[in-house]
A and B are shown apart, each in its own frame.
Chain A
Amino acid sequence: MAASATTNPSQLLPLELVDKCIGSRIHIVMKSDKEIVGTLLGFDDFVNMVLEDVTEFEITPEGRRITKLDQILLNGNNITMVSP
């Protein structure tokens, strides 16, 4: 019996969903209490992300931290969730 593929192409792949978000606003939740909102320019296999017009939020003290423009490279090591 051949080992069946671990995923079926007919379902929604996580990285496909991220790919669909390219060009739109995206909300990224880190492992820590930090969140990043920005426009997704691109990502790589490790889900490091390039974002634009970024706002950084600290969730616990409940204040907006820094609003960064230009472009940032967000290290994918600490990303927990990504939401359009």
Chain B
Amino acid sequence: GGGGAGKMADKEKKKKESILDLSKYIDKTIRVKFQGGREASGVLKGFDPLLNLVLDGTIEYMRDPDDQYKLTEDTRQLGLVVCRGTSVVLICPQDGMEAIPNPFIQQQDG
């Protein structure tokens, strides 16, 4: 029969399903961005449904006014770190991204 998955049984039982399965990132290097502009990358060692993360060998990048997105300045080695899920805004694999030239720059003629 079909519609079993639709109804969540009673209102009592609320299953906390994550839309992102982080177990595929375990022991892989991921990049995390936080509210407030911080970025970090590290090896994902653990997580919970609230999106708290455990990262190992963490490198933290911070944004400055003149940094804009330079990243090489002000990186810190943090080692083993717990990242608060409430502060996380983005998670991606470290090798799943690359820096590209700014596509929004408009050339001004005349």
Contact = CB atoms under 8 A, between A and B. Distances in A.
The 3 closest A-B pairs by CB, nearest first: A12-B46, A31-B36, A14-B52
Contacts of A13: 46-48, 54
Interface of B: 15-18, 23, 26, 34-36, 38, 40, 45-49, 52-54, 58, 60, 62, 78-87
A32 interface: yes
Nearest to A83: B81
A84 B80 contact: yes
The residue among B16, B35, B48 with the most chain A CB atoms within 10 A of its own CB is B48
Given A3-B15, A6-B16, A12-B54, A77 B86 contact: yes
B34 A17 contact: no
22 contacts: A6-B49, A7-B23, A7-B46, A11-B45, A14-B47, A14-B52, A14-B82, A14-B85, A16-B46, A17-B54, A27-B78, A29-B38, A30-B36, A31-B36, A47-B52, A59-B62, A80-B36, A81-B82, A81-B83, A82-B81, A83-B79, A83-B82
A3 B17 contact: yes
Contacts of B58: 81, 83
Contacts of B87: 31, 79-80
A57 to B, nearest CB: 12
A80 B89 CA distance: 11
Contacts of B18: 6
Given A79-B84, A81-B78, A14 B54 contact: yes
Contacts of B54: 12-14, 17
Contacts of B49: 6-7
Nearest to B51: A14
A83 to B, nearest CB: 5
Contacts of A80: 34-36, 38, 83-84, 87
